[in-house]
Chains A and B, each alone.
Chain A
Amino acid sequence: MKLITAVVKPFRLDDVRNALAEVGVQGMTVTEVKGFGRQRGHTELYRGAEYVVDFLPKVKVEVALSDDLVERAIEAIIESAKTGKVGDGKIFVTSLDQVYRIRTGETGDQAI
């Protein structure tokens, strides 16, 4: 099992959600986050006073997956989140030791 953590542009979120649903992903956790990468921040100007905003708003999508779904899910995220411009985000893949479904106590792939 893997945990996929994707940081994407907020306006791509709906597309990412739909693309993941199409490959059979049944749940996800979404968080509004801020950060910077190669896109860096942006500047704002108030009466000529320039402020550099270091942290840009992004959306973090976390999905737990059985191994057979991982490749397809990653492809789906890349395809749906990509705009081709700097700042499209990142995908992190980590292994997942165990998953429990709280209601039934099921574990492993059954619980995803």
Chain B
Amino acid sequence: MKTIRNLPCLVLGAACLWPVAGFSQTIDSGDTAWLLTSTALVLFMTLPGLALFYSGLVRSRNVLSVLMQCFAICCVVSLIWVFFGYSLAFGGGSIAGLIGGFDKLWLSGVEVDSVNGTIPETVFVMFQLTFAVITPALIVGGFAERMRFGAMLSFSVLWLVIVYLPVAHWVWGSGGWLAEIGFRDFAGGAVVHINAGVAALVAALVIGNRTGFPTTAMPPHNLTITVAGASMLWVGWFGFNAGSAIAADGSAGMAMLVTHTGAAAGSIAWMTMEWLRFGKPSVLGIVTGMVAGLGTITPASGFVGPMGAVFIGLFAGVICFLATQLIKRKLKIDDSLDVFPVHGVGGFSGILLTAVFSSTALDGRGLDEGVSMGSQLVVQLIGATATLVWCGVATFAILKLIDLVSPLRASPEQENQGLDLALHEERGYII
């Protein structure tokens, strides 16, 4: 994302130095091809990747409800994105650095020959759309197995508009206030992961635990599809992080390398923690560590080197494992699929570690000129905290607002029957 942010300066500089030639942005076919591919990869992360990952973790009577939620979120977010979402996140004329302008409403001005950097703007719109889709879909894990479908849909829409669009603009939009102070979030540690994690935790608290939690056993009903979904996430994440270079260049290559490294290190760390603590390495543990590693390397993926990625991944596996135990076992908060401990804690850690491992002394690709590790760390802390606070407060308010109009939660009877039959009149398995 950094590349786009700096582009106007470069453009301006070039125009002044060589006014005769004028300037026209040209499309690079290599960059475009990679971004088209990345867009497909990131959508693949949600459908079917995340949808399968999550649906295997719930009980069999709710498998369809989770798939349905992910699918419906994808559709409704996509429409909002083309109506006004893209404009409010990435439109010009930033309003006080808080939200984008209205110049791209209904995607006006986004034509076949519109250019953003070295790629068609249509591709940029689509690429960013897939990020807007996966973020509310991640939140589903916080309230899985008990939220009414209509309430879930209203929540996702309002949350996208009130939380995702502003935060995306702060961090990635031209003139966003976090972008202006040099906040480093390459592919969405704050925008996607802190946001989704905090929202899931708040949603779990507002909606309440699943009936029977934590005394009743609620084991995953099909870890096979969970592992399949997790593996799709790993592959899709190459588009997420390496695509965020918005170019097919060395930066994208390094982003892919560190992303992969972070995932591997996170998996090994979580597996080892479980092995030491509980005596056996588990398949759910190793794939959860992978997601933790990926979420944590995400903000850092354009700034660190492979050895930094090893450390970040290992750190993610350990801290997210401990956070999961704390939230679910100790505090007994039913963030059902552990979205906060994995994505929230991972994203927050990744944002902070980005400042550390950007340093060339630690295998990183360097901080901006005149910026010390300490001052970058302060900026990172400001950005992560601002995201956390805004997301927490707004999520709480949105849920309370919806609850005034119609209940958030399925009735105890529906919950007992399972949301598949109760809300969708279907069953996942007829065997």
Contact = CB atoms under 8 A, between A and B. Distances in A.
A47 B219 contact: no
A102 interface: no
Interface string B278-299: 1010101100100000000000
Contacts of B328: 47-49
A45 B338 contact: no
A48 B325 contact: yes
A51 B217 contact: yes
B288 A47 contact: yes
Contacts of A86: none
B278 A48 contact: yes
Contacts, number: 32
Contacts of B277: 48
Interface in B310-335: 321, 324-325, 328-329
Interface string A35-59: 0000000001111110111000000
Nearest to B217: A51
Contacts of B288: 47
Nearest to A53: B217
Nearest to B322: A48
B274 interface: yes
A47 B217 contact: no
A64 to B, nearest CB: 31
Nearest to A51: B217
A45 B282 contact: yes
B220 interface: yes
Nearest to A48: B325
Nearest to B57: A46
B338 A51 contact: no
Contacts of A46: 219-220, 282, 284
Among A46, A48, A52, A53, chain B packs the most CB atoms within 10 A around the CB of A48
B338 A47 contact: yes
Nearest to B214: A49
Contacts of A52: 217
Nearest to B223: A46
Contact of B329 (A44, A48, A53): A48
Contacts of B284: 46-47
Interface string B217-238: 1111000000000000000000
B274 A48 contact: yes
Contacts of A48: 274, 277-278, 321, 324-325, 328-329
Contact of A44 (B214, B219, B274, B321): B219
Contacts of A44: 217, 219
Nearest to B324: A47
Contacts of A53: 217
Nearest to B278: A45
A47 B217 CA distance: 13
Contacts of A51: 217-219
A42 to B, nearest CB: 12
14 contacts: A44-B217, A44-B219, A46-B219, A47-B285, A47-B288, A47-B328, A48-B274, A48-B277, A48-B278, A48-B321, A48-B324, A48-B325, A48-B328, A53-B217
The 10 closest A-B pairs by CB, nearest first: A51-B217, A48-B325, A51-B219, A47-B324, A45-B278, A46-B284, A46-B219, A46-B220, A44-B219, A47-B284
